[in-house]
Amino acid sequence: MPEPSSHRRRTAARLLVLAALTAAFVAQAAAALRPHVPLLLASTAMSLAVEGVLYRWQPGMLSLFAKSHADLTVRHVLRDLLLVVGLLRLGEQDRETQYAPLVAGLLAFYALHCAVQAVSVLVRRTRTLPVVTRNIDASALRLSPAPPALLRRPGHRLLVFGLPATAGLTATAATGDPRYAAAGIALALLLTSVGLGALLLRLLPGRRPADEQAVLDWFDAWLAEYRPTVGLYFSGGPSSAYQANMWLGPLAALGGRPVIVLRERFMVPRIAATDLPVVCLPKVSTLMRLERSTLQVLIHPSNSGKTSQVLRIPTIKHAFVNHGESDKLSSCNPYAKAYDEVWVAGPAARDRYARAEVGVEDKDVVEIGRPQLDAVRPYAGPPAGPRGGAAGGHLTTVLYAPTWEGWDGNPGNTSVVAAGENLVRALLADPGVRLLYKPHPLTGSVDPRAGAADRRIRELIRAANRERSAPRPAPSAELALRTAELDRLTTAAFRAGADQVERMLVQSAPEPGRAAAVARATAAWEEAYWASLPEGEHHIVTDARPELYACFNVADLLISDVSSVISDFLASEKPYAVANTSGLPEEAFRAAFPTVAGATVLTPDAAGVPALLESVRHPEKDELAEARAELKLRLLGPAEPSSQERFAAAVRALCAAARDHRARTARRATADLPGQRRKTPAEAGAGAGATGAAGPA
């Protein structure tokens, strides 16, 4: 099938911009060499206009030009050079000496531009701190607002500061009066000189943030004062922040003194609203300072290359909690044996590790449930949403939430490629279905076929909505109000161009009780969001809101793949189906993946969708309800004690083990045996400070 029209339009727009810019430079070169004043003026104006289009509507093409060694600086120099060539060829022989000062001024402008860029780099380095924080008072570090964004972005700066010079040269080409070029170049020199001066002021000792050693000393002092006990350690790519965010609530509910430890600077603003202190430690040497702290336990929602670095700290115990459990091999990764303990939801995961034989001993597996699933509402009967469809019955809300293709190339990982379009067509063919399509954020990141299939599925849903032609209601004032309130609570009021230091300044401390306020505002927003949607209209859910669990609560049925999505959905005990794209017969498929025990298995042709919908609408035909209840117990553990209570107990136990380990290390260090390292301050205070460093209540 052809790609959706929106993708074709984007490609066509990029090609059009590229062709227009190329044509403008070719025409300008021809006009300068001939010379031809009208063409020179028109091509220069066209070139500048296309530059504006690039920066405003096609920023993705800027990196393409940079890789081709045709970045803005090169393009700007070429544009001005062609204007100078045109001026020289338009004038008489004696005019060459008249234009020499203009050329000298233009060269001075570009020299100043390079100087501004060099100083900008120095300013950026002074504002790149070894520790980035949120929710921590860092005023002692002399934090300040960032310089204007225009001074930090060489492309934008050259385009704006160089515009007077280009305009002056163009005016001189049109009139033959060199005073226009002189005035334009003088203005460009003035603007660039002012920018250079503003940046140089930032390098004065009292105007720049604290140096690296001062920041590290401040961080050590903060650790000593805050005395963290348990933390969440996370490292990952930009789209993986959800893996950490799902553990913020359970971590905050522990009490005590939790902390969030990140490794990538870009991840700091991607962590959801929280009252917990957040520290980002990009360098390994800075990370190792945690060894001298009171931190006892780190929980890990995911594995990453940088995880091995923190595992080297002997004073901290580490628990792998994962960001979801499924029957896929990634849920029993051999890397898990590197942790002190592996915390799983229920007995099924314990058995999974035992069968996998990846080196994780049963004594190190702790069942804690899934504290996040408290937000999932239980099954409340057959569909009871708005009426619609040919018969006027209640609409059945179906959530299709396929996973991504994974790293191993297994065709059974995601149903998007082999079955997605068939499933969506079968669901859209039923007038009593409202479809919610929520693909995994990483869909298409490995296999282009998955990305193409995802785009086609979205186009099918949009086409179905157009055919239903239901009148769209007016924008919801309630939703707008709730969105504004939630944005106010979850989005810091950063000015445009704020850098990390300025963000640290703005986010120095959260408002007391903000996390609870965010929870209330989120619940109100979700209610307003679902109420604002047109009845019967299908929806593609790709934004951060609503979250997956909010989709669970409005869905009557889930269709997914073998992934943690179905494990979490079981908390509701609602019907679910799994697409079998593995090529295995159904019996072998169920045997290979125990989480499918309570599911309807769908083939890639989606032939079973009508019968599945019938069983959802008529619970008496649902033969898997008992199997789902049993599977929920195996996957998620018992309802009592609650998952949060079991999670807190596991943290307390591992904190106690960490304190015992420190005490034993301190006793060995006291013996001063050859080869034993001296005890750290944290170890020295392990005995006397055991009460103060105790785990969360």
Render pLDDT for 127-175 as a digit per residue (tens, 0 to 9): 999 999 999 999 899 999 999 988 998 888 988 999 999 999 999 888 8
Can you tell me the distance from the alpha carbon of 73 to that of 114, in angstroms, rounded to the nearest whole number?
10
What is residue 146's predicted lDDT score, i.e. its pLDDT? 92
pLDDT, tens digit (0-9, with 9 covering 90-100), for 241-277: 989 999 999 999 998 899 999 999 999 999 988 889 9
* Architecture of the domain defined by 396-472+534-636: 3-Layer(aba) Sandwich (3.40)
pLDDT bucket at 674, cuts 50 / 70 / 90: low
pLDDT, tens digit (0-9, with 9 covering 90-100), for 468-523: 766 666 678 889 999 888 888 877 667 777 889 999 998 887 667 777 888 889 99
Q: What is the mean pLDDT of residues 183-208?
A: 94
* Average pLDDT value for the chain: 87
Can you tell me the distance from the alpha carbon of 199 to that of 15, in angstroms, rounded to the nearest whole number?
38
Q: Which two tokens stand for residue 560?
A: 């997914």
Contact between residue 429 and residue 392 where contact means Cβ atoms under 8 Å apart: no
Can you tell me the distance from the alpha carbon of 109 to that of 162, in angstroms, rounded to the nearest whole number?
8
Residue 13 dihedral angles phi and psi, to the nearest 5°? -65, -40
pLDDT at 309 over 80: yes
What is residue 518's predicted lDDT score, i.e. its pLDDT? 85
Contact between residue 135 and residue 276 where contact means Cβ atoms under 8 Å apart: yes
- The pTM of the full predicted model, rounded to 2 decimals, is 0.80
- Determine the distance from the C-alpha atom of residue 242 to the mean position of all C-alpha atoms in its chain, rounded to a whole number: 7
Q: What is the mean pLDDT of residues 420-433?
A: 95
Give the strand pairing for 132-134 and 278-280: antiparallel
Q: Please count the CA atoms within 13 angstroms of the CA of 157 that sit on its side-chain side.
A: 24
What is residue 326's predicted lDDT score, i.e. its pLDDT? 73
Q: What is the mean pLDDT of residues 562-567?
A: 89
Contact between residue 47 and residue 25 where contact means Cβ atoms under 8 Å apart: yes
What is residue 33's predicted lDDT score, i.e. its pLDDT? 87
How many of the other CB atoms lie within 10 Å of CB of 542?
12
Contact between residue 83 and residue 173 where contact means Cβ atoms under 8 Å apart: yes
Can you tell me the distance from the alpha carbon of 180 to that of 611, in angstroms, rounded to the nearest whole number?
79
pLDDT, tens digit (0-9, with 9 covering 90-100), for 320-362: 998 877 776 667 788 889 999 999 999 988 988 888 888 889 9
Can you tell me the distance from the alpha carbon of 53 to that of 56, in angstroms, rounded to the nearest whole number?
5
What is residue 572's predicted lDDT score, i.e. its pLDDT? 93
Percent of the chain that is helix, strand, coil (3-state, to 5)? 55, 10, 35
pLDDT bucket at 94, cuts 50 / 70 / 90: low
Collect all residues with Cβ–Cβ distance below 8 Å to 185 and sequence separation of at least 6.
Answer: 102, 105, 106, 109, 164, 165, 168, 169
pLDDT bucket at 53, cuts 50 / 70 / 90: confident
Q: Which two tokens stand for residue 639?
A: 């309802």
- Which is more confident, 436 or 490? 436
pLDDT at 452 over 80: yes
Q: What is the mean pLDDT of residues 42-48?
A: 90
pLDDT at 2 over 50: no
Q: What is the mean pLDDT of residues 428-432?
A: 93
What is residue 619's predicted lDDT score, i.e. its pLDDT? 92
CATH topology for the 212-375 domain: Rossmann fold (3.40.50)
What is residue 690's predicted lDDT score, i.e. its pLDDT? 39
What is residue 695's predicted lDDT score, i.e. its pLDDT? 47
Contact between residue 55 and residue 163 where contact means Cβ atoms under 8 Å apart: no
Q: Please count the CA atoms within 13 angstroms of the CA of 514 that sit on its side-chain side.
A: 19
Rounded percentage of the chain residues whose pLDDT exceeds 90? 53
DSSP 611-648: HHHHHHH-GGG---HHHHHHHHHHHH--SSS-HHHHHH
What is residue 63's predicted lDDT score, i.e. its pLDDT? 78
Contact between residue 641 and residue 576 where contact means Cβ atoms under 8 Å apart: no
Contact between residue 250 and residue 104 where contact means Cβ atoms under 8 Å apart: no
Q: What's the one-letter identity of residue 582?
A: S
Can you tell me the distance from the alpha carbon of 161 to that of 185, in angstroms, rounded to the nearest whole number?
10
pLDDT, tens digit (0-9, with 9 covering 90-100), for 546-555: 989 999 999 9
What is residue 320's predicted lDDT score, i.e. its pLDDT? 95
Which 3 state secondary structure label does DSSP give 318? strand
pLDDT at 686 over 50: no
* Closest among 374, 339, 371 to 353, alpha carbons compared: 339
Which 3 state secondary structure label does DSSP give 128? coil
208 DSSP assignment = S
Q: What is the mean pLDDT of residues 195-205?
A: 94
pLDDT at 224 over 60: yes
pLDDT at 407 over 70: yes
pLDDT, tens digit (0-9, with 9 covering 90-100), for 602-637: 999 999 999 999 999 999 999 999 999 999 999 999
What is residue 15's predicted lDDT score, i.e. its pLDDT? 85
pLDDT at 3 over 50: no
How many of the other CB atoms lie within 10 Å of CB of 471?
5
What is residue 540's predicted lDDT score, i.e. its pLDDT? 94
pLDDT at 680 over 70: no
Contact between residue 464 and residue 537 where contact means Cβ atoms under 8 Å apart: no
pLDDT bucket at 8, cuts 50 / 70 / 90: confident
